[in-house]
Chains A and B, each alone.
Chain A
Amino acid sequence: MAHKNFTTIGIGVTFSPNLKANIYEASRLAMVFQSKLLLIHVGDVSEEKRQKFETILQPFIVDGLDAQVVFQPGKPVDAILESVTKQNIDLLILGAVKRESLLKYYVGSIARKITRNVSCSVMLLINPSIERVQCKHIVVNGLEDKKTEQTIATAFVVATALESDKITIVEEISHDKVGTVEDTKSLRKTNLLKEKIKRQEDTRVQTILSHIPEAHKKNQNIATQAIFGKRGYSIGHYAQVVRADLLVMNAPEKSGFFDRLFPHDIEHILTELPNDILIIR
């Protein structure tokens, strides 16, 4: 399966202290992916606002960025979702909020709703900055899923574009798969089983890797790592522990009411972002 191409990148903009940093980050991404950038502002058309946005964009437009400001009236969530479909956006950039006094980031309620319901890929930024911060280490999930191959392929494209030099593919082995250790006998059994699963997972990931074009793989330090924990959540924990700069993940299956009541998978990650996250859809 081929990787995702990001031809159109969208970012929701409002007049917040982070505005400039957000636009700078988005513009840089649009430049490296050579895609079109759409600034979506929820509200009616206003020339004054357009002026302000364009002033910020100016340095990038000089360098050849194809950017456009879109006004979309309505409720924030619906408005953004609507423009994503209308404008054929492939990648939506959202900023995370820093929880006061704590060094923790979480996704605000609006961004969270958008993440859940949007039809394109989403990039969640925890710390937008005006200066470029080099992305060095990308962590990508390697779980057994039909979307994984595309996710990994995209991760390599992103890694090449961002000139990151290390990529770790994480295989999450869930507890249910190996069973509970009760005594010496089951300890031995589960450890043998774990080794087996690890080998299987590794072969699967290696097959995926063999499909990645060599051009994307060179200059990359590629590693695989099996982790034990809750699927979809512990990968965020892992990314935090190894201080990764970007986490690339599959989009979860559609989450319903129950998932929010008993949060799991991506819901947990959204409440405490370890670092920037790219969700591929």
Chain B
Amino acid sequence: MSPKKNNLSLFFKALPKNIFSGFVVSLIALPLGLGLAMASEAPPIAGIIAAVVGGVLVSILGGSNVTISGPGNGLVGVLLVAITTLGIEGAYAAIICSGILLILLGFLKMGKLADFFPSSAIQGMLAAIGLIILGKQFHIMMGNKLSLDGSIAYLLEIPSTIIGVFKYTDSGLIFAAIAGISSLFIMAFYGKIRNRFLQLVPAPMWIVLIAIGISYYYELVLQQPNPVSPEYMISGIPAPAQIINEIPTPNFSAIASGSFWVSVLALTLISSIESLLSIKAVDKLDPQKRRSNVNRDLKALGLATIGSGFLGGLNVVTVIARSSVNVNNGGSNRSANFAHASFLVIFIVLFSSQLTRIPLPALMAILVYTGYKLASPKLIGKLFSIGKEQLLIFFTTLLVTLFVDLITGIVAGVIMTFIIHIIINKGASIFFRNVMKPNVLMFQEQATGTYYISVKHFCSFLNFYKLKQKLDDIPENKDVVIDFSLCQFVDHTVMENLSGYQEVFVKRDGHFDVIGLDLHGTESAHPFALRRFVPGLQKKGTTLTKRQLTLSEIAKDFNMQYEAGKLSDTHFLDSYRFFRTKKIERVYNRLFTKKSTFKIFDVNYSEGEFIAKEEVKTTMLHIKLDQNIPTFTLDREGFLEKVSLLAGFKDIPIDNHSDFTKRFYLKGQNEASIKEFFNDELVIFFESNPYYHIESNGEALLIYSKERIAGIKEIKSLRDFGERLETTISSRKLQPVEIF
């Protein structure tokens, strides 16, 4: 356990980075806030109010570190129902009441609430929410405003809207549709373009900037009115003074009615589940490996929701996409959330009139993309590979949610899951007899210090919280063995959660083994399939591509070995800064020397979560050195580095090599030993060779050039560069170096 650090000075040191990160987040929060509020048929500003109130209160009172709070996409469906049945003032009253319930949940330590829902049912619910958002906004994106009854009707209407676009005669509508469709393209292909300057601004903000730019181009250069039909422009963004003057009064007159409380319950359920799931996912991204206090966060979110409701804002939840953008941009504590709220206030105060220049279809394209991400067909494929029964749970929840409502949907999902479990186990007696029993035993083995956990009877969503409580008691850098040999039934929810724990433990230098499932039957080979766990299983492709064949030829030429399949142990990459906020999906196509000290490989990794999730494939070289060197990263000096210099990073200058210092950006903890390490010979080597990103973790080097898969020629030069670098380093006089 690390000693207590000087918190205050660390906080101020990290502040510039957090302010920067908060700024980037606010760029995505602004269009999303407006869009989510409009999709819920609330005034657009309500989404911004929620983000501002949430950002301020949760950053001060919350218990998590790198999360961002604001209006959530999961709530759109429920808010829509609340606003249509209760009216906007009545909905604010429902929001306030759900805030009170959230605080109660926090005090009752119900942070474990989300664990009680089967994961396939939660996915089904989220997919239904995605379809509700997508179905409704798709028409506006295409310039075809509709008013239909029920979310199914909107979905069924999509084909005729698409056909209808080609029949538009009004040029205002045509331009509206063009704005919507091109915005959708920006959302979809933004992640594919790996340009560092482009990536500086998130996709939703590009849409806003381009839209405003075009509007000014028409106004100032062409001196024409905006081509998009005025009824498809954002309206009703009030001036700051107006916001304060027109704070709505919540209307509590419906408080005695059933529909009011159904809305309150749905709002509470969805906002707590969305927040809890997001916190769990964001904790995995936290480079400082902290654990969030979910109960404290629930209380803060509840209070923020109450405040937001009184000021005319929506529910405040923890949001995954914005949080992961925050982590990726260097946010390290709650001040980033506060900064994001402050920047939103600044935007509204300075630019609220500019926002009316954004075409509605462009904004709705962002939401359509969000909805698509929630209900992505990939998800169905994944569930199918886990087991057909998961699909049944998924679709039960999805369809009931679409046809009836959210709460009925999730209840149906839970019941369906339980029925399937009863059928699989040929009877319910195993559940009823054992559900109350304390079925989890944990002890620390004295010889090794390993934590051993034995689970009896059954382990499913019904009693996973008992196992979870024990798991949470273990520091993540320890070794854990979970033994299911006394357990007759383990379900998918448990497997998926355990896999999450496994990921965290491995990332934080612990070990997490699941044993005792070898005798359990299963229907599919997927690691999350119920009853059985087979880690790292992946089908090997039998036919090699041309690139793979050439790679195997290269391997022969250079006396190396080639392996096309997936490498299950990617732990050697975890200690690099580069991978701290990234999730390694797979390492494959490996070229390696006999002892595997020198290896070139393709790696797939993902950054961020949900709509901010980007999958990247690249080729890297990893050299295990025979000596210890200081940890550092070496990059080409560019615009971004200049910016991050302002944000508090430090470039280490090398004396007598001003050209190197100017061209390269060198970063590391121990400046003295790095300066010593970069002797004349090494500096000249870097100056006279092609440029690569290089990172040292103290005993090995990670070398790569672009964030894409390298071609054959590039691989050859990468190999050559690495080999010569290795010789240069090992020819150095071995000097004792202080290691961190």
Residues of A near any B CB (own CB < 8 A): 175, 178, 180-188, 190-191, 194, 223, 225-230, 233-234, 237-238, 240-241, 262-263, 268
Does the CB pair B293–A186 fall under 8 Å? yes
18 A-B pairs with CB atoms under 8 Å apart are: A175-B469, A178-B473, A181-B291, A182-B293, A182-B294, A183-B63, A183-B296, A185-B293, A187-B291, A187-B473, A194-B473, A227-B441, A229-B441, A237-B456, A240-B486, A241-B454, A263-B436, A268-B438
Shortest CB-to-CB span from B291 to chain A, Å, is 5
Give the residues from 606 to 651 in chain B that come closer than 8 angstroms, CB to CB, to chain A: none
With contacts A178-B473, A183-B291, A268-B438 known, what are 4 further pairs, Cβ within 8 A? A181-B473, A183-B290, A191-B473, A237-B486
Shortest CB-to-CB span from B72 to chain A, Å, is 22
* Cβ of B450 under 8 Å from chain A: no
Set B294, B438, B444: member contacting A226, Cβ < 8 A: B444
Complex alpha-carbon distance, A175 and B109, angstroms = 15
Does the CB pair B291–A234 fall under 8 Å? no
Interface string of B279-305 (1 = CB under 8 A from A): 000000000001111111000000000
Set B111, B438, B442: member contacting A182, Cβ < 8 A: B111
Shortest CB-to-CB span from A224 to chain B, Å, is 8
* Cβ of B569 under 8 Å from chain A: no
Set B296, B441, B444, B486: member contacting A234, Cβ < 8 A: B441
Enumerate chain B residues within 8 angstroms of A238, measured Cβ to Cβ: 441, 443
Does the CB pair B437–A223 fall under 8 Å? no
| 3 A-B pairs with least C-beta separation | A230-B438, A183-B293, A227-B443
Does the CB pair B438–A181 fall under 8 Å? no
Complex alpha-carbon distance, A183 and B63, angstroms = 8
Enumerate chain A residues within 8 angstroms of B446, measured Cβ to Cβ: 223, 225
Does the CB pair B109–A241 fall under 8 Å? no
Enumerate chain B residues within 8 angstroms of A184, measured Cβ to Cβ: 290-291
Contact A228 to B290, CB < 8 A, known contacts A182-B111, A183-B63:
no
Does the CB pair B437–A233 fall under 8 Å? yes
Does the CB pair B291–A237 fall under 8 Å? no
Shortest CB-to-CB span from B389 to chain A, Å, is 25
Shortest CB-to-CB span from A105 to chain B, Å, is 14
Interface size of B by CB at 8 A reads 31
Enumerate chain A residues within 8 angstroms of B503, measured Cβ to Cβ: none
Complex alpha-carbon distance, A234 and B466, angstroms = 13
- Which residue, B63, B438, B440, has most C-beta atoms of chain A within 10 A? B438
Set A175, A241, A263: member contacting B483, Cβ < 8 A: A241
- In the complex, the chain B residue whose C-beta lies closest to that of A231 is B438
Set A188, A191, A227, A262: member contacting B442, Cβ < 8 A: A227
- In the complex, the chain B residue whose C-beta lies closest to that of A198 is B444
Does the CB pair B473–A233 fall under 8 Å? no
Complex alpha-carbon distance, A263 and B433, angstroms = 11
* Cβ of B149 under 8 Å from chain A: no
* Cβ of B222 under 8 Å from chain A: no
Does the CB pair B475–A234 fall under 8 Å? no
Shortest CB-to-CB span from A101 to chain B, Å, is 12
Contact A187 to B475, CB < 8 A, known contacts A182-B63, A182-B294:
yes
- In the complex, the chain A residue whose C-beta lies closest to that of B2 is A188
* Cβ of B724 under 8 Å from chain A: no
Set A181, A185, A234, A263: member contacting B472, Cβ < 8 A: A181
Does the CB pair B295–A182 fall under 8 Å? yes
Contact A225 to B443, CB < 8 A, known contacts A187-B475, A237-B454, A241-B454:
yes
* Cβ of B470 under 8 Å from chain A: yes
Shortest CB-to-CB span from A222 to chain B, Å, is 12
Does the CB pair A226–B472 fall under 8 Å? no
* Cβ of B1 under 8 Å from chain A: yes
Does the CB pair A183–B443 fall under 8 Å? no
Enumerate chain B residues within 8 angstroms of A188, measured Cβ to Cβ: 1
Shortest CB-to-CB span from B482 to chain A, Å, is 12
How many A-B pairs have beta carbons closer than 8 Å: the answer is 75
Residues of B near any A CB (own CB < 8 A): 1, 63, 109, 111, 290-296, 436-444, 446, 452, 454, 456, 469-470, 472-473, 475, 483, 486
Tell me the dominant secondary structure on chain B's binding face: mixed
Enumerate chain A residues within 8 angstroms of B294, measured Cβ to Cβ: 182
Enumerate chain A residues within 8 angstroms of B475, measured Cβ to Cβ: 187, 191
Shortest CB-to-CB span from A279 to chain B, Å, is 19
Complex alpha-carbon distance, A229 and B441, angstroms = 5
Does the CB pair A180–B441 fall under 8 Å? no
Complex alpha-carbon distance, A182 and B454, angstroms = 22
Set A182, A226, A230, A268: member contacting B443, Cβ < 8 A: A226
Complex alpha-carbon distance, A178 and B295, angstroms = 18
Enumerate chain A residues within 8 angstroms of B443, measured Cβ to Cβ: 225-228, 238
Contact A180 to B293, CB < 8 A, known contacts A233-B438, A234-B438:
no
- In the complex, the chain B residue whose C-beta lies closest to that of A229 is B441
Does the CB pair A183–B292 fall under 8 Å? yes
Set B63, B295, B441, B473: member contacting A237, Cβ < 8 A: B441
Complex alpha-carbon distance, A190 and B475, angstroms = 10
Complex alpha-carbon distance, A178 and B475, angstroms = 15
- In the complex, the chain A residue whose C-beta lies closest to that of B295 is A182
Does the CB pair A268–B291 fall under 8 Å? no
- In the complex, the chain A residue whose C-beta lies closest to that of B289 is A184
Complex alpha-carbon distance, A194 and B470, angstroms = 13
Complex alpha-carbon distance, A229 and B444, angstroms = 12
- Which residue, B109, B454, B469, has most C-beta atoms of chain A within 10 A? B454
Set B63, B439, B441, B472: member contacting A241, Cβ < 8 A: B441
Complex alpha-carbon distance, A228 and B446, angstroms = 14
Shortest CB-to-CB span from A266 to chain B, Å, is 13
Does the CB pair B473–A228 fall under 8 Å? yes
Does the CB pair A228–B442 fall under 8 Å? yes
Contact A268 to B437, CB < 8 A, known contacts A183-B291, A227-B443, A228-B473:
yes
- In the complex, the chain A residue whose C-beta lies closest to that of B471 is A181
Does the CB pair B470–A182 fall under 8 Å? no
Enumerate chain A residues within 8 angstroms of B437, measured Cβ to Cβ: 233, 268
Complex alpha-carbon distance, A208 and B499, angstroms = 43
- Which residue, A185, A226, A237, A268, has most C-beta atoms of chain B within 10 A? A237
Complex alpha-carbon distance, A233 and B473, angstroms = 19
- In the complex, the chain A residue whose C-beta lies closest to that of B457 is A272
Enumerate chain B residues within 8 angstroms of A185, measured Cβ to Cβ: 293
Complex alpha-carbon distance, A226 and B440, angstroms = 14
Complex alpha-carbon distance, A251 and B290, angstroms = 44
Enumerate chain B residues within 8 angstroms of A223, measured Cβ to Cβ: 446
- In the complex, the chain B residue whose C-beta lies closest to that of A182 is B293
Does the CB pair A229–B438 fall under 8 Å? yes
Complex alpha-carbon distance, A229 and B438, angstroms = 7
Complex alpha-carbon distance, A237 and B446, angstroms = 18
Complex alpha-carbon distance, A240 and B455, angstroms = 11
- Which residue, A184, A185, A186, A238, has most C-beta atoms of chain B within 10 A? A184
Does the CB pair A190–B473 fall under 8 Å? yes
Complex alpha-carbon distance, A161 and B483, angstroms = 34
Complex alpha-carbon distance, A225 and B441, angstroms = 13
Enumerate chain B residues within 8 angstroms of A230, measured Cβ to Cβ: 438
- In the complex, the chain A residue whose C-beta lies closest to that of B294 is A182
Shortest CB-to-CB span from B658 to chain A, Å, is 43
Shortest CB-to-CB span from B485 to chain A, Å, is 9
Complex alpha-carbon distance, A152 and B561, angstroms = 61
Does the CB pair A228–B470 fall under 8 Å? yes
Shortest CB-to-CB span from B508 to chain A, Å, is 11
Complex alpha-carbon distance, A190 and B472, angstroms = 11
Complex alpha-carbon distance, A183 and B476, angstroms = 12
Enumerate chain B residues within 8 angstroms of A182, measured Cβ to Cβ: 63, 109, 111, 291, 293-296
Shortest CB-to-CB span from B435 to chain A, Å, is 12
Complex alpha-carbon distance, A178 and B218, angstroms = 67
Enumerate chain A residues within 8 angstroms of B293, measured Cβ to Cβ: 182-183, 185-186
- Which residue, A188, A238, A241, has most C-beta atoms of chain B within 10 A? A241
Does the CB pair A180–B109 fall under 8 Å? yes
Enumerate chain B residues within 8 angstroms of A187, measured Cβ to Cβ: 291, 472-473, 475
Enumerate chain B residues within 8 angstroms of A237, measured Cβ to Cβ: 439, 441, 454, 456, 486
Shortest CB-to-CB span from B601 to chain A, Å, is 34
